[in-house]
């Protein structure tokens, strides 16, 4: 989740899209999307976001799908305190209000499954509304995006069928497909999120709008 310079990456999207690997529970992903929004605000041609799910907590996931928070991931209290300081700095830089109290306990897998279902079955703008609402629910409203009731409510607010989203969460084939996407991302060299990929190059972290401009427009 640290900032890095642009680097070669495989499987880049078409030139009118920017691929974004992210996990809803990652605060830097939320901040990165705000940076992308600010970059696009001054751009004549809008880029479509090709969201690609990434499960930050896959190493802590039990066979039944639950999260074992006791698993040692090599990140101690100092790491998390430094991460919070970085988040606070970026909040001020990007003008973003957000809460950091709930996300550490929330499992995002259900949200990613729901979002992937919408992305592959609905039009782009509907997916984007749903995707944005998930981020907002967690980081602004302190709602548990792992709760099927919350996801159904967000779906209905985006004009979707809440029951259809609930059904998607119980679809084992869909769950396996999303899990496969995580594995593919790792094989492609994605080691942290957010990672923005455009035309064969990438930038990792909640990089500022001007770095996204260099990535996309080369300026």
Catalogue all structural domains in the chain, each as residue range(s) with its CATH number: 7-217 (3.40.30.10)
Q: What is the pLDDT of residue 14?
A: 44
Q: What's the CA dihedral at 54, 193, 153, 94 to 10 degrees?
A: -170
List of E strands, the chain: 7-8, 17-22, 48-53, 195-198, 201-204
**Tens digits of residue pLDDT in 82-132:** 888 999 999 999 999 998 776 667 899 999 999 999 999 999 999 999 999
pLDDT exceeds 90 at position 7: no
143 C-beta neighbours (distance < 10 Å), count: 20
Summarised one tens digit per residue, pLDDT across range 145-168 is 999 999 999 999 999 999 999 999
Share of the chain above pLDDT 70, in %: 89
Mean pLDDT value across the chain? 89
pLDDT of res. 13 = 46
Q: What is the pLDDT of residue 183?
A: 93
| Contact yes or no for 118/160 (Cβ under 8 A) | yes
């Amino acid at each position: 989740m640290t900032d890095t310079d642009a680097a070669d990456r495989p499987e880049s999207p078409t030139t009118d899209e920017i691929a974004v690997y992210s996990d809803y529970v990652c605060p830097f992903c939320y901040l990165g999307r705000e940076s992308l929004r600010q970059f696009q605000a001054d751009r004549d041609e809008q880029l479509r976001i090709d969201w690609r799910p990434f499960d930050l907590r896959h190493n802590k996931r039990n066979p039944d799908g639950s999260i074992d928070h006791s698993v040692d991931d090599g990140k101690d209290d100092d790491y998390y305190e430094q991460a919070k300081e970085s988040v606070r700095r970026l909040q001020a830089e990007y003008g973003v209000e957000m809460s950091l109290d709930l996300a550490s306990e929330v499992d995002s897998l259900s949200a990613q499954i729901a979002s992937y279902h919408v992305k592959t079955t609905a039009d782009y703008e509907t997916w984007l509304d749903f995707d944005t609402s998930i981020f907002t629910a967690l980081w602004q409203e302190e709602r548990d995006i792992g709760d099927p009731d919350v996801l159904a409510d967000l779906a209905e607010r985006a004009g979707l069928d809440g029951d259809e989203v609930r059904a998607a969460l119980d679809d084992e084939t869909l769950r396996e497909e999303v899990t496969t996407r995580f594995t593919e991302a790792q094989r492609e060299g994605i080691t942290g999120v957010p990672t923005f990929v455009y035309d064969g190059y990438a930038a990792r972290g909640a990089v500022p709008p001007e770095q996204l401009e260099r990535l996309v427009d080369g300026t």
